[in-house]
Protein backbone atom coordinates (compact mmCIF):
# COMPACT_ATOMS: atom_id res chain seq x y z
CA UNK A 1 0.00 0.00 0.00
CA UNK A 2 2.85 2.39 0.85
CA UNK A 3 4.46 1.81 -2.55
CA UNK A 4 1.14 2.56 -4.27
CA UNK A 5 0.70 5.86 -2.41
CA UNK A 6 4.26 6.91 -3.30
CA UNK A 7 3.48 6.20 -6.96
CA UNK A 8 0.31 8.27 -6.67
CA UNK A 9 2.11 11.24 -5.12
CA UNK A 10 4.76 11.12 -7.84
CA UNK A 11 2.06 10.80 -10.51
CA UNK A 12 0.27 13.85 -9.09
CA UNK A 13 3.46 15.92 -9.04
CA UNK A 14 4.65 14.94 -12.50
CA UNK A 15 1.11 15.06 -13.89
CA UNK A 16 0.41 18.53 -12.49
CA UNK A 17 3.72 19.82 -13.87
CA UNK A 18 2.98 18.37 -17.31
CA UNK A 19 -0.57 19.75 -17.09
CA UNK A 20 0.92 23.24 -16.70
CA UNK A 21 3.49 22.84 -19.49
CA UNK A 22 1.08 21.24 -21.96
CA UNK A 23 -1.59 23.77 -20.92
CA UNK A 24 0.59 26.59 -22.23
CA UNK A 25 -0.16 25.23 -25.70
CA UNK A 26 -3.67 26.29 -26.58
CA UNK A 27 -5.63 26.60 -29.76
CA UNK A 28 -7.91 29.65 -29.86
CA UNK A 29 -11.60 29.28 -30.66
CA UNK A 30 -14.04 31.89 -31.97
CA UNK A 31 -15.47 32.20 -28.42
CA UNK A 32 -13.57 34.80 -26.34
CA UNK A 33 -11.32 33.49 -23.55
CA UNK A 34 -11.90 29.89 -24.66
CA UNK A 35 -9.17 27.69 -26.09
CA UNK A 36 -8.83 24.07 -27.03
CA UNK A 37 -6.57 22.50 -24.42
CA UNK A 38 -4.39 19.43 -24.90
CA UNK A 39 -3.51 18.65 -21.26
CA UNK A 40 -6.79 16.84 -20.61
CA UNK A 41 -5.59 13.90 -22.73
CA UNK A 42 -2.67 13.44 -20.33
CA UNK A 43 -4.93 13.92 -17.31
CA UNK A 44 -7.29 11.22 -18.59
CA UNK A 45 -4.34 8.82 -19.08
CA UNK A 46 -3.17 9.40 -15.50
CA UNK A 47 -6.74 9.07 -14.20
CA UNK A 48 -7.11 5.67 -15.86
CA UNK A 49 -3.68 4.40 -14.77
CA UNK A 50 -3.59 5.75 -11.19
CA UNK A 51 -7.24 6.38 -10.32
CA UNK A 52 -9.64 9.16 -9.43
CA UNK A 53 -7.61 10.77 -6.63
CA UNK A 54 -4.63 11.28 -8.94
CA UNK A 55 -6.93 12.57 -11.70
CA UNK A 56 -8.56 15.00 -9.28
CA UNK A 57 -5.30 16.45 -7.94
CA UNK A 58 -3.57 16.60 -11.33
CA UNK A 59 -6.48 18.76 -12.53
CA UNK A 60 -6.76 20.90 -9.40
CA UNK A 61 -3.06 21.56 -8.89
CA UNK A 62 -2.15 21.72 -12.57
CA UNK A 63 -4.95 24.10 -13.50
CA UNK A 64 -4.37 26.31 -10.43
CA UNK A 65 -0.66 26.66 -11.21
CA UNK A 66 -1.39 27.25 -14.91
CA UNK A 67 -3.89 29.99 -14.03
CA UNK A 68 -1.52 31.56 -11.49
CA UNK A 69 1.28 31.67 -14.08
CA UNK A 70 -1.13 33.06 -16.69
CA UNK A 71 -2.29 35.90 -14.46
CA UNK A 72 -5.44 34.95 -12.57
CA UNK A 73 -7.10 32.05 -10.79
CA UNK A 74 -10.52 31.07 -12.09
CA UNK A 75 -11.68 28.67 -9.38
CA UNK A 76 -14.81 27.34 -11.07
CA UNK A 77 -12.76 26.08 -13.99
CA UNK A 78 -9.96 24.81 -11.73
CA UNK A 79 -12.52 22.75 -9.82
CA UNK A 80 -14.03 21.54 -13.10
CA UNK A 81 -10.59 20.31 -14.22
CA UNK A 82 -10.23 18.34 -11.02
CA UNK A 83 -13.72 16.90 -11.31
CA UNK A 84 -13.01 15.80 -14.88
CA UNK A 85 -10.03 13.75 -13.69
CA UNK A 86 -12.03 12.36 -10.78
CA UNK A 87 -14.93 11.32 -13.03
CA UNK A 88 -12.72 9.59 -15.59
CA UNK A 89 -10.69 7.87 -12.87
CA UNK A 90 -13.81 6.46 -11.22
CA UNK A 91 -14.23 4.16 -14.23
CA UNK A 92 -10.62 2.96 -14.45
CA UNK A 93 -11.44 -0.63 -13.48
CA UNK A 94 -13.57 -0.97 -16.62
CA UNK A 95 -10.74 0.09 -18.93
CA UNK A 96 -8.09 -2.62 -19.09
CA UNK A 97 -4.95 -0.73 -20.15
CA UNK A 98 -3.00 -1.78 -17.05
CA UNK A 99 -3.59 -5.40 -18.09
CA UNK A 100 -2.21 -4.69 -21.56
CA UNK A 101 -5.65 -4.59 -23.19
CA UNK A 102 -7.19 -1.62 -24.96
CA UNK A 103 -9.54 -3.01 -27.57
CA UNK A 104 -12.53 -1.49 -29.33
CA UNK A 105 -14.92 -1.98 -26.40
CA UNK A 106 -12.39 -0.31 -24.04
CA UNK A 107 -11.92 2.57 -26.48
CA UNK A 108 -15.66 3.07 -26.86
CA UNK A 109 -16.26 2.92 -23.10
CA UNK A 110 -13.39 5.30 -22.35
CA UNK A 111 -14.67 7.80 -24.89
CA UNK A 112 -18.24 7.52 -23.66
CA UNK A 113 -17.05 8.28 -20.11
CA UNK A 114 -14.81 11.19 -21.11
CA UNK A 115 -17.46 12.77 -23.35
CA UNK A 116 -20.05 12.61 -20.56
CA UNK A 117 -17.51 13.96 -18.03
CA UNK A 118 -16.51 16.81 -20.37
CA UNK A 119 -20.14 17.68 -21.07
CA UNK A 120 -20.99 17.71 -17.37
CA UNK A 121 -18.02 19.66 -16.02
CA UNK A 122 -17.63 22.18 -18.85
CA UNK A 123 -21.17 22.40 -20.19
CA UNK A 124 -22.93 22.51 -16.81
CA UNK A 125 -20.81 22.80 -13.63
CA UNK A 126 -18.20 25.40 -14.66
CA UNK A 127 -20.77 27.77 -16.22
CA UNK A 128 -23.17 27.42 -13.28
CA UNK A 129 -20.28 28.19 -10.94
CA UNK A 130 -19.34 31.23 -13.01
CA UNK A 131 -22.89 32.55 -12.82
CA UNK A 132 -23.28 31.83 -9.09
CA UNK A 133 -19.83 32.88 -7.85
CA UNK A 134 -18.53 35.42 -10.34
CA UNK A 135 -21.93 36.77 -11.48
CA UNK A 136 -20.96 36.27 -15.11
CA UNK A 137 -23.52 36.47 -17.90
CA UNK A 138 -25.04 33.02 -18.35
CA UNK A 139 -25.10 33.25 -22.16
CA UNK A 140 -21.36 33.99 -22.25
CA UNK A 141 -20.17 31.33 -19.82
CA UNK A 142 -22.42 28.58 -21.20
CA UNK A 143 -21.07 29.34 -24.69
CA UNK A 144 -17.53 29.13 -23.32
CA UNK A 145 -18.30 25.92 -21.43
CA UNK A 146 -19.93 24.19 -24.38
CA UNK A 147 -17.09 25.10 -26.75
CA UNK A 148 -14.46 24.06 -24.17
CA UNK A 149 -16.31 20.79 -23.51
CA UNK A 150 -16.52 19.92 -27.18
CA UNK A 151 -12.89 20.87 -27.78
CA UNK A 152 -11.69 18.89 -24.77
CA UNK A 153 -13.81 15.87 -25.71
CA UNK A 154 -12.36 15.83 -29.23
CA UNK A 155 -8.74 16.21 -28.05
CA UNK A 156 -9.18 13.52 -25.38
CA UNK A 157 -10.88 11.25 -27.92
CA UNK A 158 -7.89 11.56 -30.24
CA UNK A 159 -4.84 12.14 -28.05
CA UNK A 160 -6.17 10.39 -24.93
CA UNK A 161 -7.10 7.29 -26.90
CA UNK A 162 -3.66 7.25 -28.56
CA UNK A 163 -1.90 7.67 -25.19
CA UNK A 164 -3.93 4.85 -23.63
CA UNK A 165 -3.31 2.63 -26.64
CA UNK A 166 0.43 3.28 -26.44
CA UNK A 167 0.46 2.70 -22.68
CA UNK A 168 -1.49 -0.57 -22.97
CA UNK A 169 1.14 -1.87 -25.37
CA UNK A 170 3.84 -1.38 -22.71
CA UNK A 171 1.96 -3.64 -20.26
CA UNK A 172 2.14 -7.41 -20.13
CA UNK A 173 -1.16 -8.76 -21.34
CA UNK A 174 -3.02 -10.83 -18.75
CA UNK A 175 -2.49 -14.54 -19.36
CA UNK A 176 0.10 -13.99 -22.06
CA UNK A 177 2.99 -15.56 -20.17
CA UNK A 178 3.31 -19.33 -20.17
CA UNK A 179 5.48 -21.56 -18.03
CA UNK A 180 7.97 -23.62 -20.01
Please report, in tens digits, the pLDDT of each residue of the chain (180 residues total). Answer: 577 799 999 999 999 999 999 999 989 999 998 999 999 999 999 999 999 999 999 999 999 999 999 988 999 999 999 999 999 999 999 999 999 999 999 999 999 999 999 999 999 999 999 999 999 999 999 999 999 999 999 999 999 999 999 999 999 886 655 555
Query: What 3-state class would DSSP assign to 170?
Result: coil
Provide the whole-model pTM: 0.93
Nearest Cα to Cα of residue 98 among 59, 45, 57, 53: 45
Dihedral, CA of residue 79, residue 161, residue 117 and residue 87, to nearest 10: -70
User: Helices 75-89 and 126-134: crossing angle, nearest 10°?
Assistant: 150
Q: What CA–CA distance (Å, rounded) separates 154 from 114?
A: 10
Per-residue pLDDT, 178: 57
φ and ψ at 35, to 5 degrees? -125, 155
The answer to whether 81 and 63 are in contact (CB under 8 A) is: yes
**CA 101 – CA 116 distance, rounded (Å):** 23
Amino acid sequence: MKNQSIKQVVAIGVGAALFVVIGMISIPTPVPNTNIQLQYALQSLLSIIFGPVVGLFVGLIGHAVKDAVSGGLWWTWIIASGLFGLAVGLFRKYIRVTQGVFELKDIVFFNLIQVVANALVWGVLAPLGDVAIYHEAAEKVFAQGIVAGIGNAVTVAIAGTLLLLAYSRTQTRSGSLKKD
